[in-house]
Structures are given as C-alpha cells and as structure tokens.
C-alpha cells in the first residue's frame, strides 16, 4: 500500500531512473556487440578460404567383417 500513498513525483522519479538505466545498458551492449562483430569479421577474413585450402587425399577406412557360420 506504500505505492498508493507515495506522492506521484517519487513514482515518476523511479520510472525515469529505470528508463535511463535501460538506455545506458543498451548503449553499452551495442558498443560491445559492434566490437565483437568487428573482431569476428576480421578473424574470418584472415582465415584461409575453403577454395584456397589444398585437398589432401582422403584415406578411406574399410571395415572388414568376418562372418562365421556354424555348421551344426
């Protein structure tokens, strides 16, 4: 019931502080995201492309099975 009896300017001040806090958090997140995206793009450009990588001969593994039959 305290919320009902408080003057309206206290409530408005709390709401305004919450909005400002959300804006600050979103701005900081955006800056960090831009840094991470830039770092990812930079690393992906430095990595060798799939077309440039030489194809190594693939070794095929053959699994030999031995079938046993019972002649009873």
Please write the tens of the pLDDT for every residue from 3-53.
666 688 888 899 999 999 999 999 999 999 999 999 999 988 887 665 555
The rounded Cα 40 to chain-centroid distance in angstroms is 11
Contact 11, 3 (CB under 8 A): yes
Which pLDDT band, with edges at 50, 70 and 90, does 63 fall under?
low
CB burial of 6-18 (b: ≥16 within 10 Å; e: otherwise) equals: eeeeeeeeeeeee
Three-state DSSP at 46 gives helix
Q: Is the pTM of this model over 0.85?
A: no
Q: What is the pLDDT of residue 46?
A: 82
């Amino acid at each position: 019931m305290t919320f009902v009896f408080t003057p309206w300017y206290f409530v408005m001040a709390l709401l305004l502080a919450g909005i400002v806090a959300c804006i600050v958090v979103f701005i900081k997140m955006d800056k960090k995201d831009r840094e991470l995206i830039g770092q990812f793009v930079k690393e992906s450009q430095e990595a060798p492309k799939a077309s440039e990588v030489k194809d190594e001969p693939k070794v095929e593994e053959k699994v030999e099975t031995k079938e046993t039959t019972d002649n009873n």
